[in-house]
Structure 1
Amino acid sequence: MIDATEALTNAAIGLVVSWCLTWAWLGFNPIQSAGITAVFFLASFTRAWIIRAWFRGRG
């Protein structure tokens, strides 16, 4: 469970940063930025969780 919490915290911080950059820098409107950010948030969370679990399983 701690792996998921850590991965979720890391991804949530990335979510805020990503939304701000997508909106301010790339020029998408806030709704478009939220959609794009959601896709990358899910990808980031899943990747971090799988990699962390794989490494812990090997140790």
Structure 2
Amino acid sequence: MTESRKDSFIESLADLVIGYLISLLFQLTIFYFYQEIDLPQRDNMTITLWFTMLSLGRSYLVRRYFNRKAMLASMKL
């Protein structure tokens, strides 16, 4: 049985929220050690949001690809 597109999206969205928070924390930590990088908090959040949205698309497409691959393999049996 395959996963629905809605379920794939919800799982990817949950992964995205967790990834966003981890990425933001990690970025702030790295920028702290490289003190020549001085960005306002809003810019840090915006940069992280762009990468997070890219990650959502990637995660969803990869999940759908492997889901379809599994479905086609099960149809051959």
TM-score (norm 2): 0.69
Shift of 1:23: 2.2
Q: Deviations over 1:34-54 (max 9, x none)?
A: 111111100111000000001
Shift of 1:30: 1.1
Shift of 1:57: 0.7
Unaligned runs of 5+ in 1: none
User: Which 4+ runs in 1 deviate beyond 2 A?
Assistant: none
TM-score (norm 1): 0.87
Greater C-alpha Rg: 2
Over aligned residue pairs, what C-alpha RMSD do you find?
1.2
Identity among equivalent positions (%) equals 20
**Number of residue equivalences:** 59
Cα distance in structure 2, aligned partners of 1:22 and 1:32: 11
